[in-house]
Amino acid sequence: MGREGVNHMNGFRVILRRWRMTMMFLSKHRVFHVLLYITFIVGLCTPAAPNAANATPVVPLPRVSPPPQSMESNGASITLPKQAKLVFGMGADLTAVALVRETLENHGVRINDKAGNFEIYVGGPEETPESEGILAKLGREGPEALPADGYVLAIERSQGIKIVLSGKDATGTYYAALTMSQLIQRQGESVRLPAVYIRDYPNFPFRGGEESFYGPQWSWEDRYDQVDFLSEHKMNYFFYGPAEDDRTTGRAWRDLYPPEELEKFRRLVEYSRAKHVNFLYRIGPESPQIGGSALGICHARTADRDALIQRLEQMYSIGVRTFVISWDDVTETFTCEEDAQRYGSGPIALATAQAEVLNDIQERFFDVFPDVERGITIPSQYWLNEPTPYRSTFDELVTESMDFYWTGPHVMSLRWKSRSRMSLLRNRHSLVTDFLSSIIIRSTIITGIDYCSAR
């Protein structure tokens, strides 16, 4: 689907853009094509826990998306006073605090530090220590045992009204605020919240959407809108790697971004971080891409490896911490004589050259900056179950500190006959994403495929 939907029908511009961002991945020939589609449906695949066994529902619970792992309610609905006391510590996530404040004020509830009968505690034990004591008084377990990005949300009557949004980490607290914003309702002149106790966490550590396709790039407004969409749906990665950005796909990958362009990226990265979305930057130095004519990296040339590191360092300087080095959709022909002399020709030579570059980048960049996430690479053969000369060589030579993208048995894996993993990969992670007709998958190479039925 093209971008025409973004530019027409002004009254539905945002809706169409978000729908396009989800559905367009069904037509792209890339490794990360459907991550937004996959991860958006993941929430639908997570079964919502039934109400507590002794609960007698009186008021239907509002729909929460994605559904929480566990949500207990006795069916009671709490009418909110016109004023609330907002309590948060010095380490509390300010985005979560702002969202709670905005949610209340949009429903006519004013923040007042002297409001004693309605108290809201925002932040987990490390952010707002008071929340731990309130949960204990309510007889509720905190978020300590939850995985990353998990949270507890308690809304109860106990000597007034108490609301606790307690995250395992700052992102979890923000997700609790998002859930609360879906639960609040206006009924006539009253504003109500259901009495609930929620324990929630994501099933998938890597959740997100992408701008990585052939065709016109998104505008900066589109990218901000995408980050908002991902954030609102509790997704945590935005993959940037459009094929038409000359500096990401081989045409001008050696050239650093000019200051004015870099500043635009810096602002987007900063905005994404505040929204609890990690900005993932992809660069593909290999060329020519299929259908292209640009000269790509000379794998054996130190100056080209230095140029690649300089690009990564430039993006690191503005806050990017997740990087993909991609070798997909390219020919097997070297573009410099040094490579032909050093590596020879054919798939084994290509895999050897790429692996040497990755290992050098691992040593001189990823190992140097401890706050950078594990490096990720997209092999030239990013599909298939069976070993091939290229894939066997690539896996054997690439450092085990580097993770792989893999689309399954085919470039577009519409059907899976089994849950078995490809046999050649060693002890490394693989981000599994692709087209599927009835199941959603995303797991690691060394565990089974996590899946659920699509609805």
Catalytic site positions: 329
Tokens of 242: 């459009």
C-alpha–C-alpha distance, residues 272 and 237, integer Å: 9
Task: Output Rg (C-alpha) for the chain, integer angstroms.
Answer: 24
Task: List residues bridging with 88 in a β-sheet.
Answer: 122
Other beta carbons within 10 angstroms of residue 103's beta carbon come to 17
H, E, C per residue of 162-219: EEEEEECCHHHHHHHHHHHHHHCEEECCEEEEEEEEEEECCCCCCCEEEECCCCCCCC
For 58-91, give one letter per residue: b (16+ CB within 10 A) or e: eeeeeebbbbbbebbbbbbbbebeebbbbbbbee
Token readout for 430 is: 């693989």
